Amino acid sequence: MRIIALLLSAVTLISLFACTKSGTSAPHDTTVEESTTLPDTTVPDTTDAETTTEEITTEEITTVEITTAEPQFPIYGEDEYTYNIDVSKYLSYIDPENDEEYLIIANRKHPLGKDYKPSNLTYVAKGQSWLLRRAAKEAFEAMRLEMQYLGVYDTYNRSTYRSYSFQNTLYNNYIERDKKRYPNLSHDEIVALVDTYSARPGTSDHQTGLTIDFDPLNESFEDLKAFAYMRDNAYKFGFILRYPKGKENITGYKYEPWHWRFVGRDAATYIYEHGITLEEYMAKKNGTEIEYFD
Ligand SMILES: [Zn+2]
């Protein structure tokens, strides 16, 4: 009796599948009486079979349309990346499932404000006081190991996370220094000058906790093996060159080959492949206009 009941349940499932159009389901407590109709249900007539096939096909097409419309940017597959080291334990950081929290813009037009403090700040290395957000720290660790494997040792991390108050001190020190250097310039001219190389407090990319400045903090960084490596490979670890050459009117900063920023691997790959900035990427992603600096 139990076996018959199970068999009936199985048949009920089959008939449910075959009769998608009606949407009616047979009750679970199938009676023996119904068993007399078994042959009819399991072998539907030709018309029914055709209808079912058509319906399934329509559903498949609908699903494909939704999938195509959803992601605005490609999600890159594993096959596109090669590493010499084993990155498996770093991968969830390098390529975060949700990268939105790393796609932060901090500039003069979009200040983070005084109270912005990123979450998950972690020491970059033991014995160092430099902090990064956990994902950026792990991704950097993987990139550093890869560079080491390839014999690229000619730099190290200098400045990473900077709090609002740290940036405030830094900025004001630059103002004072340049006032002494250029006594003939007005206060506004000094501010305009300092704005080209230092962020006002609340507007620094370093306040995101996703940024690394590499040594040395000047254009000679370009001559290092590290720069050559990072220029072509940092995207594999989710990093981008934050202030590229020729994009000053979009980023608001002069070219800084030493300043790298974590955004996650998908965004980094897109930015690298298209030769664009984070500002341009975000404008494209959000369907907004690029805001230019004067
Ligand atoms: Zn920097």
pLDDT of residue 78: 84
Tokens encoding 253? 């900063």
- Give the separation between CA 99 and CA 96, rounded to whole angstroms: 6
Assess contact for 66 and 259: CB atoms under 8 A: no
Q: Ligand 1 centre from 91 Cα, in Å? A: 25
Q: Ligand 1 centre from 159 Cα, in Å? A: 7
Tokens encoding 195? 């704005």
pLDDT digits (tens, 9 = 90+) for 186-242: 999 999 999 888 999 999 999 999 999 999 999 999 999 999 999 999 999 999 999
CA 271 from chain center: how many Å?
A: 11
pLDDT of residue 264: 98
What average pLDDT does the segment 157-167 reach? 95
Q: Ligand 1 centre from 213 Cα, in Å? A: 5
Tokens encoding 251? 């980023």
pLDDT digits (tens, 9 = 90+) for 78-93: 888 999 999 999 999 9
Q: How many residues does the structure list for the chain? A: 294
pLDDT of residue 63: 52
Q: Ligand 1 centre from 240 Cα, in Å? A: 12
Q: Ligand 1 centre from 109 Cα, in Å? A: 18
Grade residue 294 by pLDDT with cuts at 50, 70 and 90. Answer: confident
- Give the separation between CA 210 and CA 260, rounded to whole angstroms: 9
Of 116, 194, 193, the residue nearest 162 (C-alpha): 116
Q: Domains in the chain and their CATH numbers?
A: 2-69 (no CATH), 78-162+204-286 (3.30.1380.10)
pLDDT of residue 61: 52
pLDDT digits (tens, 9 = 90+) for 99-127: 999 999 999 899 999 999 999 999 999 88
Sequence-distant (6+) residues with CB within 8 A of 38 are 11
Place of tokens 């001190």: 169
pLDDT of residue 75: 85
Assess contact for 155 and 278: CB atoms under 8 A: no
Assess contact for 130 and 161: CB atoms under 8 A: yes
Cis peptide bond N-terminal to 96, omega within 30 = no
DSSP 153: -
Can you say whether the dihedral through the CA atoms of 58, 64, 70, 72 is positive or negative?
negative
- pTM metric for this prediction: 0.73
Q: Ligand 1 centre from 284 Cα, in Å? A: 24
